[in-house]
């Protein structure tokens, strides 16, 4: 989830590149860089931090080159630094590359290139691409790029420039977006339409598996094998603000729809047939044998992900787990020592309470694993081990894709611990991995039912109180659904373990109080239905969530939302999707500020 822009034409390239990067900075903002071809030399300028730092580096006396590429980064491989910022070059400074996505087999390729004598300057997966182009080059950039595409695995959008071919840009995409802008004797390439709207509204939208060669004479689109592709010109009618949001009305809706890709990216390179690969975590069997307790510490939405993690780790790794709110953890003298594994969860990696809990745990001798979205964040630097979620920047205050990728991170950690301990047979791990691979497509199935949720949301527009109920993992997701609704629609919402209704909460149930009942945990399904009948007996309107094919629930509720069939342990990544959409559309119906709800901030950096 970074930003790419490229230009070839008659104008000075750098102002166009910088202007495009400004429009893309919402996609990544920990470092930025540009590369231009000037007087037969590749000139690269890079800076850490937001784009303004790069502008300061460039000054006013910049190159007059008319071909170049630029990038604004959201770090995945290697912390934010000048060396890790894009663009990246090969050993001889003949090739320069910018790249979005993840090269899954980059370590294996890097080792082979080093054996051949290549020298690497960064920690990134992207630099491998520049060295591969150098290694495979046999006469033209286009041919070298095709060989690279056959070698790499993962998701990517990339653009390359060669010093000796000053009139050519070559680009390719797989799973990461890319568009080509068509001008009069000039052409643009970018990871998002918003970057080029100031210059053209006519674009080619590249499809997966397509490669493009751009010169001042025109644009040639082929598949990865070199077969010609015919593209229709798309005439952009959005304004600049809508384009930044990808045509969506709000960032929150855009980020809800980015979840299939985010979930795919989080497991890229981490799943084998019957084995999880977590290169960032290095717990040996001997070290794990010394662990007798696990704490999961987080705030808000991340805490809800931790509640799911508790069940998964206890069920799979057979370790006792306690989940604590970070703001309470260090003030109650937690029983933490060198035999404790502490898992801290934070989207930003800068959450003040979570960071304080991490430091308290380390002071007491605990091993700390972080689950975070931001490479180079304080949490990622201070933890012993890190699982990055690779969700990309999340702009809306209400977390969506960060939460689902945190859930996926908990699945990976639970399986990893079970794998090291040998507490799950490899066949069972393989079964879970197979189901996990299907989750992104199943999330997309749910997103395709968006209009049904939108219609349902209309009945909530004037509601003032709502209850969410569920058992086991459904209760954890109910808490997240409740938080989403209250934080962006301002409806009072509470989540309860369904079995607790009769211990007081039933007194609040009336016909004006809708209840959302989650029922995906098969071992407690009948008990959940009994609780549903209790609220129906008090005239509540009930919306149920369960698996496709379960026709019995429709007999007990007013409306059913069906999710695709999966393992019960993985269902939270699916059940939360309709709850996110429901909260979003209720907020819109009530005229609330969806992306910036009152009194709330995205990253909480004070206690």
3-state secondary structure of 565: coil
Q: How far apart are CA 28 and CA 44, in angstroms?
A: 19
Cβ atoms of 263 and 404 within 8 Å: the answer is yes
**Prior bond of 87 cis (ω within 30°):** yes
pLDDT at 432 over 50: yes
E runs forming strands in 27-126: 31-38, 41-48, 67-73, 88-89, 95-103
- Quick one: how far is CA 368 from the chain centroid? 22
CB distance 162 to 69 below 8 Å: no
CATH number (domain holding residue 581): 3.40.50.10490
Query: Is 606 inside a domain boundary?
Result: no
Split at pLDDT 50, 70, 90, the class of 255 is very high
- Looking at the fold, whether 511 and 368 belong to one and the same domain comes out as no
Same domain, 467 and 519: yes
Strand order of the β-sheet with 340-346 is 321-325, 293-298, 340-346, 367-372, 385-388
Cα separation, 241 vs 539, in Å, equals 45
pLDDT of residue 605: 41
Tracing tokens 């949720």 back to the chain, one arrives at: 453
> What per-residue string of b and e applies to 20-41 under the rule 16 or more CB within 10 Å gives b?
bbbbbbbbbbbbbbbbbbbeee
What DSSP state is assigned to residue 276?
Answer: B
Q: Where does a domain end: 216, 237, 258?
A: 237
pLDDT tens digits, one per residue of 516-529: 999 999 999 999 99
Mean pLDDT of 304-329: 96
Band the pLDDT of 238: cuts 50, 70, 90.
low
Q: Within this chain, do residues 360 and 479 fall inside the same structural domain, yes or no?
A: no
Cβ(258)–Cβ(363) below 8 Å: no
Q: Which residues contact 208 (CB under 8 A, 6 or more apart)?
A: 173, 174, 175
Kindly state the percentage of the chain with pLDDT values over 90. Answer: 68
Classify residue 430: in a domain, yes or no.
no
Distance CA 575, CA 562 (A): 9
* 461 and 399 together in one domain: no
What pLDDT digit, counting tens, does each position of 464-473 carry?
Answer: 899 999 999 9
Is the confidence at residue 558, as pLDDT, over 70? yes
pLDDT attached to residue 452: 93
- DSSP label of 263: H
Candidate from 176-190, 224-238, 430-444, 551-565 with smallest mean pLDDT: 224-238
pLDDT tens for 352-369 read: 889 999 999 999 999 999
What is the band of 573 on the pLDDT scale with cuts at 50, 70, 90? Answer: very high
89 catalytic, yes or no?
Answer: no
Range of the domain at 481: 445-597
Q: Are residues 268 and 392 in the same domain?
A: yes
My answer on whether 258 and 217 are in the same domain is: no
187 within some domain = yes
Co-location of 124 and 147 in the same domain: yes
pLDDT value of residue 240: 64
93: left (phi over 0), alpha (psi -120 to 50) or beta: left
Q: Any alpha helices (H) in 137-230, and if so which ranges?
A: 141-151
**Among 24, 79, 26, 34, residue whose Cα is nearest residue 54:** 34
> Structural domain tally of the chain?
3
Tracing tokens 């001997």 back to the chain, one arrives at 286
Active site residue 602: yes
Tell me the average pLDDT across 327-347.
92
Backbone angles phi, psi at 511, to 5 degrees: -70, -15
46 SS3 class: strand
* Residue 439 falls inside a structural domain: no
- The sign one gets for the Cα dihedral 55, 57, 62, 65 is negative
Q: Of 147, 428, 486, 602, which one is the catalytic site residue?
A: 602
Cis peptide before 51 (omega within 30 of 0): no
Residue 602 has φ and ψ, to the nearest 5°, of -70, -50
Average pLDDT, the chain: 91
Our CA angle for 264, 270, 276, nearest 5°, is 125
DSSP string for 303-345? HHHHHHHHHHHHHHH---EEEEEHHHHGGG-----TTEEEEEE
Q: What is the mean pLDDT of residues 184-200?
A: 89
Question: Within this chain, do residues 453 and 398 fall inside the same structural domain, yes or no?
Answer: no
Which SS3 state, helix, strand or coil, does residue 118 take?
coil
Q: Which two tokens stand for residue 473?
A: 């993992």
d(CA 26, CA 48): 16
Same domain, 411 and 457: no
Predicted local distance difference test score (pLDDT) of residue 243: 62
Q: Is the pLDDT confidence value at 114 over 80?
A: yes
Q: pLDDT band at 416, cuts 50/70/90?
A: very high
Any domain includes 440: no
Q: How many residues does the chain have?
A: 607
Closest CA to 21 of 42, 9, 4, 45: 4
CATH code where residue 230 lies: 3.60.20.10
Instruction: Please provide residue 420's backbone torsions phi and psi, each rounded to the nearest 5 degrees.
Output: -65, -40
Residue 216 in domain: yes
In the block, tokens 């980059």 appear at: 106
DSSP string, 350-393: --HHHHHHHHHHHHTT-EEEEEES-TT-HHHHHSSEEEE-----
The answer, yes or no, to whether residue 259 has pLDDT greater than 90, is: yes
**Residue pointed to by tokens 């590149």:** 17
The 10 Å Cβ neighbour count of residue 230 is 5
Say whether both 53 and 189 belong to one domain: yes
| Cα distances (Å, whole numbers) of residue 63 to 14, 58, 60 | 7, 9, 9
Asked, for residue 577, whether it belongs to a domain, the answer is yes
CA 282 to chain centre: 23
- 160 with 48, same domain: the answer is yes
Domain assignment present for residue 593? The answer is: yes
190 sits in which H/E element: strand 187-190
Q: Would you give the DSSP letter of residue 175? A: B
**Catalytic pick among 2, 46, 168, 261:** 2
Interval 237-242 mean pLDDT: 65
Residue 2, token pair as written in the block: 């970074």
- Looking at the fold, whether 161 and 296 belong to one and the same domain comes out as no
Largest CA distance in the chain: 80
Quick check: 14 and 58 in contact, CB under 8 A?
yes
What is the tally of helices (H) and strands (E) in the chain? 19, 24
pLDDT over 70 at 550, yes or no: yes
Which ranges in 472-603 belong to alpha helices (H)? 473-489, 525-536, 572-589
């Amino acid at each position: 989830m970074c930003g790419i822009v490229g230009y070839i034409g008659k104008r000075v390239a750098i102002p166009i590149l910088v202007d495009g990067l400004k429009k893309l900075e919402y996609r990544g903002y920990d470092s930025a860089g540009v590369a231009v071809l000037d007087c037969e030399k590749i000139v690269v300028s890079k800076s850490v931090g937001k784009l303004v730092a790069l502008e300061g580096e460039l000054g006013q006396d910049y190159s007059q080159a008319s071909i170049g590429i630029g990038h604004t980064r959201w770090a995945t491989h290697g912390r934010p630094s000048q060396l890790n910022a894009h663009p990246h070059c090969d050993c001889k400074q003949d090739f320069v590359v910018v790249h979005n996505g993840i090269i899954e087999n980059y370590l294996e390729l890097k080792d082979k290139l080093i054996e051949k004598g290549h020298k690497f300057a960064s920690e990134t997966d992207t630099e491998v691409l520049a060295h591969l182009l150098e290694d495979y080059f046999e006469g033209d950039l286009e041919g070298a790029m095709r060989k690279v595409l056959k070698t790499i695995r993962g998701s990517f959008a990339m653009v390359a420039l060669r010093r000796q071919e000053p009139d050519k840009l070559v680009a390719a995409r797989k799973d990461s977006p890319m568009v080509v802008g068509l001008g009069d004797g000039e052409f643009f390439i970018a990871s998002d339409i918003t970057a080029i709207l100031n210059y053209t509204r006519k674009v080619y939208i590249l499809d997966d598996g397509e490669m493009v060669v751009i010169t001042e004479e025109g644009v040639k689109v082929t598949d990865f094998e070199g077969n010609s592709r015919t593209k229709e010109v798309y005439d952009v009618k959005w304004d600049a603000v809508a384009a930044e949001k990808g045509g969506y009305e709000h960032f929150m809706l855009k980020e809800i729809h980015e979840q299939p890709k985010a979930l795919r990216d989080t497991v890229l390179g981490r799943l084998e047939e019957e084995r999880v690969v977590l290169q960032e975590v290095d717990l040996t069997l001997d070290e794990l044998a010394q662990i007798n307790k696990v704490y999961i510490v987080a705030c808000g939405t991340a805490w809800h992900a931790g509640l799911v993690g508790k069940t998964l780790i206890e069920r799979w790794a057979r370790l006792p787990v306690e989940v604590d709110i970070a703001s309470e953890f260090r003030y109650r003298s937690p029983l933490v020592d060198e035999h404790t594994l502490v898992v801290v969860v934070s989207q930003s990696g800068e959450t003040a309470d979570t960071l304080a809990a991490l430091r308290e745990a380390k002071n007491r001798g605990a091993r700390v694993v972080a689950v975070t979205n931001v490479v180079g964040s304080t949490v990622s630097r201070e933890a012993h081990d890190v699982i990055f979620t690779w969700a990309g920047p999340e702009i809306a205050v209400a977390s969506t894709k960060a939460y689902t990728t945190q859930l996926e991170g908990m699945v990976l950690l639970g399986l990893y611990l079970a794998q090291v301990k040998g507490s799950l047979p490899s066949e069972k791990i393989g079964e879970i991995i197979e189901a996990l691979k299907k989750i992104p497509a199943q999330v997309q199935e749910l997103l395709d039912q968006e209009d049904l949720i939108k219609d349902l949301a209309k009945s909530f527009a004037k509601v003032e109180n709502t209850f969410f109920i569920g058992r086991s993992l459904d209760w954890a997701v109910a808490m997240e659904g409740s938080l989403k609704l209250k934080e962006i629609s301002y409806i009072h919402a509470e989540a309860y373990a369904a079995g607790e209704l009769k211990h007081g909460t039933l007194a609040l149930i009336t016909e004006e109080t809708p209840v959302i009942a989650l029922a995906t945990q098969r071992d407690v399904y009948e008990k959940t239905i009994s609780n549903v009948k209790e609220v129906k007996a008090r005239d509540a309107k009930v919306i149920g969530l369960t698996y496709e094919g379960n026709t019995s629930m429709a007999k007990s509720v007013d409306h059913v939302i069906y999710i695709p069939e999966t393992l019960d342990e993985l269902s939270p990544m699916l059940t939360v999707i309709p709850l996110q959409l429901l909260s979003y559309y209720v907020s819109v119906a009530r005229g609330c500020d969806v992306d910036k709800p009152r009194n709330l901030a995205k990253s909480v950096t004070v206690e």
